[in-house]
Amino acid sequence: MKTNIANSGSEKTQSGRPARFNLADWMPKIVLAPTMLIAIFCIYGYMIWSAVLSFTNSRMLPSYKFVGWDQYERLFNNDRWIVALTNLGIFGSLFILICLFLGIMLAIFLDQKIRTEGALRTIYLYPMAISFIVTGTAWKWLLNPTNGIQKLMIDMGFENFKFDWLTNPDMVVYCLVIAAVWQASGFVMALFLAGLRGVDGDLIKAAHLDGASTFTTYRRIILPSLKPVFFSALVILSHIAIKSFDLVQALTNGGPGYASDLPANFMYTYTFTRSQIGMGSASAMVMLGCILAILVPYLYSELRGNKNEK
Amino acid sequence: MKNNSTARNTSGVTKLLRIALYSVLLIMAFFYLMPLIIMLLTSLKDAEEVRNGTLLSLPGSLNFDSWSKAWSGACTGSTCTGISPYFLNSFKIVIPAVAISTLLGAINGYVISLWKFRGSNLFFAALLLGCFIPFQVVLLPMAQTLGWLGIASSTTGLIFVHVVYGVAFTTLFFRNFYQSIPGELVKAARLDGAGFFTIFYRIILPVSTPIIVVTVIWQFTQIWNDFLFGVAFSGFDSQPVTVALNNLVNTSFGGKEYNVDMAAAIIAALPTIVVYVFAGKYFVRGLTAGAVKG
């Protein structure tokens, strides 16, 4: 961190020679400048821009007539937004919990010197390489009551089998959970498996010598040492949940009605198809707030942790 | 282990546990594979078989009609060209976007880890946040900007957007990789008279192959699978394959053809699956690097 090799220019001044403009010294800054400018404009500038729009009465086109917190008030009085937020709560917590559970379980199981580990790992993780649109299309077909799993079970002889969550407004959000877990749980497995492989082998040997069972070793020694992996997984999964848009679009298109809308879909619909730019921007700001609430403490602890290491 | 009878007893229990373990692992493997298998089966059936059969019933004969229809005849919205033009669109977007964002990421990472200057770390932290913002926040301002730049609804516009929001990740990858290169190396090269680009080109780039592979694969997967930018910023002629697939599936004109939908979905997923199968190791490395370090 301390070696500052780009500063040879100022060294010269210190040694008494006149400072002169040296292109080589400026090169790093010149090279970084385009990214810097674009990033600052397209990330922070746009954030502010959206924030500004959320306080205006913009409808089909952006306008800059300020109306204070009106859009936020309208937003939280909007039934569809409340449904989307509630769905995010249900979808997000179930998705995160099930992914963590499955991912940790599979990682530990795969860590037991399984002969076909490589193949199994490949199978568990491949959904992560696929677009949520493809996932949505596939599960739409599987979950659809007329031709999908319900029909399969009925034809197999379970005549009263009912599995119509996709068309049931009260249950449709669980369809999102199923498909999203299918896609992302293998990723949690990969994270934890990498973590397990990084645990100090001597520690485990010592525990075994002390007579600890495999189960106890995992519970008391290995898993606690994976806390950082756990938090990374938690942050990434909540991030995926809050940003979920494609999956809803492909699997349910928000329906039936708007029963399976998530905030990202609400934002898109209101901004681009319903000409409610002000309210759309307000909803985007709420999403940003959710992500920052998760991210800032995480990044803070990460950066502080890094500093302590060095 | 010292006592013989307990050893036999334990090994019996262990055997049972192993069987249970393998069963769980295999059941889960089935859970992950099932949708893909069913998609494949469905895509090979004809309309009659789809209507009368169940998910797991086998097609009577290998019938690739729905594949050719998905590729070149199925209707997405109001046009019936199949998904092939959009498949090509995706490549037209992905190839330049991946190349530019990877190159920029390499140079940025090189500066941030080996040519630190006052504020470069702060900039990196600021960029890092860009990996995580919900893109809903930038959609509308970006739509306006693209309009001003005259590249709205075009392939160029989409390339631009993917580069802008991909650079945060690529910089992160390269920066973490270059962190392990000793600063003395660059110092020594400078004393020998090598300049900024010479050092990058002659010393840094030759050792960067692994991280370049990881970054290219990561970016390829991300951009190929993107839907949000595609649907928000593409025009009629520049739609990527994910958007076309979604339109195709939601077009009910002339009755639903699930076999065609499934064939189209597999076609849309094929490039990333191929990459995953052949370079899975690097894909996983990208996923975990982006995750753990980010």
What are the structural domain ranges in chain B?
A: 4-68, 84-293
Out of A88-97, B71-80, B97-106, B174-183, pick the least confident. Answer: B71-80
Position of tokens 């910023």?
B233
ipTM of the complex in this document:
0.89
- Quick one: which of A179, A105, A174, A93 has its CA closest to A139? A179
With bands split at pLDDT 50, 70 and 90, how would you rate the model's confidence at A215? confident
Highest mean pLDDT among A205-209, B110-114, B254-258: B110-114
Class of A71-309 per CATH?
Answer: mainly alpha
Angle of helix B155-178 relative to helix A23-39, nearest 10 degrees?
130
**With an 8 Å Cβ cutoff, are B249 and A250 in contact?**
yes
Q: What is the mean pLDDT of chain B?
A: 86
Nearest Cα neighbor of A285 from A93, A84, A71, A88 is: A71
| pLDDT at res. A294 | 87
B-chain CB neighbours of A5 within 8 Å are 114-116, 183, 186-187, 190
Amino acid making up residue A231: F
Report the b/e string of B185-212 with b at 16+ CB within 10 A: ebeebbeeebebeebbeebbeeebeebb
Pairwise CB contact (< 8 Å): A190 & B288: yes
Question: How far away is chain A from the Cα of B123, in angstroms, using its nearest Cα?
Answer: 7
Contact A93/A242 with Cβ under 8 angstroms?
Answer: no
Q: Assess A99–B contact: CB distance below 8 Å, yes or no.
A: no
Does residue A31 sit at the B interface (CB-CB below 8 Å)?
yes
pLDDT of residue A145: 83
Name the token pair of A60.
Answer: 């089909």
Q: Kindly report the nearest CA distance between residue A50 and chain B, in angstroms.
A: 6
* Helix, strand or coil, per DSSP, at residue B195: coil
- A149-203 tens-digit pLDDT: 888 888 888 878 888 888 888 899 999 999 999 999 999 999 999 888 888 888 8
Chain B CB contacts of A280 below 8 Å: 140
Least confident of A32-46, B146-160, B243-257: B243-257
- Nearest-by-CA chain B residue for A30: B111
The predicted model gives B212-226 an average pLDDT of: 92
% of chain A exceeding 90 in pLDDT: 39
Token code pair at residue B130 = 């860009």
| pLDDT at residue A71 greater than cutoff 80 | yes
- At residue A147 the predicted structure's pLDDT band, cuts being 50, 70 and 90, is confident
Task: State percent of chain B over pLDDT 70.
Answer: 93
Q: Which of B158, B92, B68, B134 is nearest to A267 (CA)?
A: B134
Indicate the SS3 state at residue B31.
helix
Q: What are the beta bridge partners of residue B76? A: B79
User: Does the distance separating the beta carbons of B126 and A32 come in below 8 Å?
Assistant: no
Give pLDDT, residue B229.
Answer: 94
- For A66, the 3-state DSSP assignment is strand
In this structure, of A19-23, A81-85, A110-114, B78-82, the range with the lowest mean pLDDT score is A19-23
Q: How confident is the model at residue B80, as a pLDDT?
A: 80
Rounded to whole angstroms, how far apart are CA atoms B273 and B279?
A: 10
**B203 interfaces chain A, CB cutoff of 8 Å:** no
So what's the pLDDT on residue B291?
57
Q: How far apart are CA A131 and CA A246, in angstroms?
A: 8
Report d(CA A207, CA A216) in Å as an integer: 9
Residue B293 pLDDT: 44
Cα separation of A113 and A116, whole Å? Answer: 9
Which among B56, B126, B242 is the nearest to A152, CB-wise? B56
Q: Give the per-residue pLDDT at B185.
A: 85
Print the SS3 string covering A91-120. HHHHHHHHHHHHHHHHHHHHCCCCCCHHHH
Reply yes or no on whether the pLDDT at A24 is more than 80: no
Calculate how close chain B gets to A124, using CA atoms only, in Å: 6
pLDDT of B89 > 90? The answer is: yes
Cβ contact A163:A171 at 8 Å = no
pLDDT of residue A15 exceeding 50: no
- Could you report the per-residue pLDDT of A245-269, keeping only the tens digit for each? 999 999 998 878 889 999 999 999 9
CATH architecture of structural domain B84-293 = Orthogonal Bundle (1.10)
Work out the mean pLDDT of chain A and round it to a whole number.
Answer: 85
Subunit contact B123:A27, Cβ cutoff 8 A: no
Does B269 have pLDDT greater than 90?
yes
Chain A residues touching B32 at Cβ < 8 A = 123-124, 126-127, 182, 186
- Whether A45 and B284 lie within 8 Å, measured CB to CB: no
pTM for the predicted model, two decimal places: 0.88
Q: Give the DSSP per-residue string, B132-173.
A: TS-THHHHHHHHHHHHHHT-TTSHHHHHHHHHHHHHHHHHHH
How close B136 comes to chain A (CA, Å)? Answer: 6
pLDDT tens readout for residues B125-154: 888 887 788 999 999 999 999 999 999 889
Domain ranges of chain A: 71-309
Sign, CA dihedral B247-B253-B258-B260, equals: negative
Confidence at residue A8, expressed as pLDDT on a 0 to 100 scale: 42
Q: A19: pLDDT confidence band, cut at 50, 70 and 90?
A: low
Show the tokens assigned to B260: 């065609």
Q: Is the pLDDT of residue B79 over 90?
A: no
Q: For B110, phi and psi rounded to 5 degrees?
A: -60, -45
Q: A113: which residues sit within 8 A by CB, 6+ positions away? A: none
Q: Which residues are CB-contacts of B108 (< 8 A; sequence separation ≥ 6)?
A: A31, A32, A35, B167, B170, B171, B174, B175
What is the identity of the amino acid at A243?
K
**Cross-chain residue pair B232–A125, CB shorter than 8 Å:** no
The nearest CA of chain B is from the CA of A219 a distance in Å of 18
Query: Using CB atoms, which residue from B114, B142, B167 is nearest to A35?
Result: B167
